[in-house]
Amino acid sequence: MRTDAVRLYGSRDLRVESFELPKIGPDEVLMRVVSDSVCASTYKAVIQGTAHKRVPPTIAEQPVVIGHEMCGEILEVGAELADRWKVGQRAVIQPALKLDTGYDPGYAYPYVGGNMTYAIVPKLVLERGCLLPYEGESYYEGSLTEPIGCVLRAFKGLYHTDYTNYVRTDGAKRGGKLAILGGAGPMGLASIELAIGYAGCSQVVVTDISEERLAYAKRKCTPASAAARGCELIYLNTASCEDPTQTLLELSNGGFDDVFVMVPVSGLLTMAEKIAGFDGCINFFAGPPVHDLQGSLNLYRVHYDGIHLVGTAGSIPEDTVDVIHLIENGTIHPGVMVSHILGLGAVPEAIFAMEKPSGSKKICYNELDIPIVALEDLEELGKTNPLWAGLNEVLKRHNGLWCAEAEAYLLKNAPKRK
């Protein structure tokens, strides 16, 4: 089986190549990788190369396939797995294997990754229960199970204590107030969806210092749609506030039950502590690019007000299964996260463009030969291209959000790789 793939040879050395896959073993699975969601973690791996903790030192001689937010269809099953997997079955990969070496799919393997047309799922992924069945309506939602799973793990990491009986409860406070600091990016949008549909928060306040990002997030996750689901959703540009901390305290009527810090800025951690209410839980979710980022908390409040800090990174197969169920039953709407679509050949451009982030999640359809296209540009592009005009008409029926109907239209009508 011949596959097209985006392979990493070293720092900033990405190549779109075609090569032959070996025959699968009796304990392996051949998968058609339909979609992958381009992730900032991949950008870090591409920029750092072998200096990245998940990338092996041998990539110059043995390149690896990038992309780890993948969804596809099983084409062939090894003899030892015939009782567990079937040809035609859809599946996603949960890439955090948690090996001692730290090597995961999308960072360290020559024959499996999200940015390829066909992949061999190795024995280790299967042994660890990291290939998971998926019965969702669209492939892109399957690709988004991994990033949403990371946010779901963050919600599960929160906890609270009833000080009348000292009973601890895991998760965000049900019916409580949540602040998402620096939350207008893709993971912030996922946090909003989970806060409303999964955690049942009564109030969510999303901050950012970019009016453009906030306006984009507000178009995707509207206060009106949140209100219809029982949540007050507020967007706040803290750059325009004379005293952001005081403004947040006033909005929350004295403090938030839970606070997410979505940007690796130590000052946001300090702000998080100041706006947390009694028994407030802070999750420093952001991944710092340096190894010695320092921050401060008021230890008096930690002691007397029960302020507590956690940090979560990645997800586990259980989280992926939970996200699949949330998607399949319509509890959350992953389409709010999607800002761009692209084909396999445009992946390097999309990766390097992350130096200056724009939009939200970019979904790659590996079999297609299309450039990077922003969903908000479809109307203009449609004036000269009937493909984009037709796709724009589909999105209009879905409030501008990427959806299963849009994906099906694109896969049917867009040009394929040769």
Q: What is the pLDDT of residues 312-342, one digit of tens each?
A: 988 999 999 999 999 988 999 999 999 999 9
Residues of the chain with pLDDT > 90, as a percent, come to: 92
State how far the Cα of 323 lies from the Cα of 195, in Å rounded to an integer: 13
pLDDT of residue 49 exceeding 70: yes
State how far the Cα of 368 lies from the Cα of 415, in Å rounded to an integer: 6
Average pLDDT over residues 230-234: 98
- pLDDT at 375 (0 to 100): 97
- pLDDT at 21 (0 to 100): 98
Residues of the chain with pLDDT > 70, as a percent, come to: 99
pLDDT of residue 72 exceeding 80: yes
Q: What contacts 24+ positions apart, CB below 8 Å, involve 165-172?
A: 171/199, 172/199, 172/201, 172/257, 172/258, 172/281
Mean pLDDT of the chain: 96
pLDDT of residue 102 exceeding 80: no
- pLDDT at 3 (0 to 100): 98
Average pLDDT over residues 257-279: 97
Per residue in 130-153, pLDDT (tens digit) is: 999 999 899 999 999 999 999 999
Per residue in 371-393, pLDDT (tens digit) is: 999 999 999 999 999 999 999 99
Give whole-number Cα distances, 125 to 15, 29, 323, in Å: 25, 10, 19
Please answer whether residues 364 and 114 qualify as being in contact, where contact means their C-beta atoms are separated by less than 8 angstroms. Answer: yes
pLDDT of residue 171 exceeding 70: yes
pLDDT of residue 415 exceeding 80: yes
Where does the pLDDT of residue 101 fall: very low under 50, low under 70, confident under 90, or very high at 90 and above? low
State how far the Cα of 41 lies from the Cα of 107, in Å rounded to an integer: 10
| Block residue for tokens 């979505």 | 262
Please answer whether residues 140 and 338 qualify as being in contact, where contact means their C-beta atoms are separated by less than 8 angstroms. Answer: yes
Does the CA dihedral 74-79-81-84 come out positive or negative?
Answer: positive
| Model pTM above 0.85 | yes
Where does the pLDDT of residue 53 fall: very low under 50, low under 70, confident under 90, or very high at 90 and above? confident
Half-sphere exposure of 313 (CA within 13 A, CB side): 8
Please answer whether residues 313 and 187 qualify as being in contact, where contact means their C-beta atoms are separated by less than 8 angstroms. Answer: no
- pLDDT at 314 (0 to 100): 86
Average pLDDT over residues 32-39: 97
Q: Please, which residues bridge with residue 9 across strands?
A: none
Please answer whether residues 292 and 316 qualify as being in contact, where contact means their C-beta atoms are separated by less than 8 angstroms. Answer: no
| Block residue for tokens 């297609």 | 368
